[in-house]
Amino acid sequence: MRGDPKFSNKTNITISVDGQVGDEIRQYAEKQGLSTNSLVNKVLKDYVMFGKYFQDHIPVVIAPQVFSHLLEEVDEKVWIKAWEIALMQVTPEVFAMHNLEPTLDNLVRHLLGDIGPRVGIFDKFTFHENEAKNYKLMMVHKYGIKWSRVLATSFSNMFVKAFPVKVTTKVSTNTLTMEIHENNSEPYNQLYLATP
């Protein structure tokens, strides 16, 4: 990270790589305009972030056209319910795995910012936070208005169940915007994000 001490936090490591994999890594790095070092580091960091979770939970990897088909065929209410249950299971596990405090800020930055685009539920995520700790989030995807509504409802419900906040959403074909405002009159459901 920029600003981190230059030497105390960095370590040299030499690895002996299987021939074809080494060649592929070098070629892929070149194609991406990265050094081999940068690419290997990116791959290792992604593994630290997701690898163990994937190893333990074995999620399913599906092609965009298959996902579109599933989305079209299955009722919106079923999708929302399924995502709400999945978020309730996945979120505390992700926080525990990365030793993160279950805060609104971590939910926005890590669950949505780091993980969301990497698992493909949206392609682009941006957020702004103002001084009053209110958030404005924007997610862009390619799956149409039904997916915007599924994400809007399931994420809103997650935020409202987990924190004393009010959430307003606006959906369009491929974009979802969400505003999160603190609402201290509501009780804080600490159990929702409790470590499993």
Partner 1 sequence: MVKASQRKKPNITIVSDAKTLNELKKWADSKGLSMNALINEVLTKNIFFYRYVSEHEYMIIPSTIYSDMIDILPEKTLVDLVSRTINETIQSIFAHNNISYTMDNMVKFYFERVGLWSGLYNIFKRYSDMSSTNLVFEHKYGIKWSKIIAQSISNLMKDTLNLSSEHKILPRTVILQVDKR
Q: Which residues bind partner 1 (CB under 8 A)?
A: 1, 4, 9-19, 21-22, 24-25, 28, 36-37, 40-41, 43-48, 51-52, 54, 57-64, 66-67, 69-70, 73-74, 78, 82-83, 85-86, 89-90, 118-121, 123, 142
Q: Compute the least distance from the CB of residue 48 to partner 1, in Å.
A: 5
Distance, in Å, from the CA atom of 50 to the CA atom of 117, rounded to the nearest integer, reads: 13
Distance CA 49, CA 70 (A): 28
- Answer yes or no: are the C-beta atoms of 175 and 148 closer than 8 Å: yes
Tokens of 44: 């290792």
Residue 46 or 105: the one with the smaller Cβ distance to partner 1 is: 46
The nearer residue to partner 1, 47 or 188, going by C-beta atoms, is: 47
| Max CA distance (Å), the chain | 61
For 178, counting Cβ atoms within 10 Å of its Cβ (0-12 exposed, 13-18 middle, 19+ buried), the class is: buried
Specify the residue, 29 or 165, whose C-beta has the smaller distance to partner 1.
29
Minimum Å gap between C-beta 117 and partner 1 is 10
CB-nearer residue toward partner 1: 73 or 131: 73
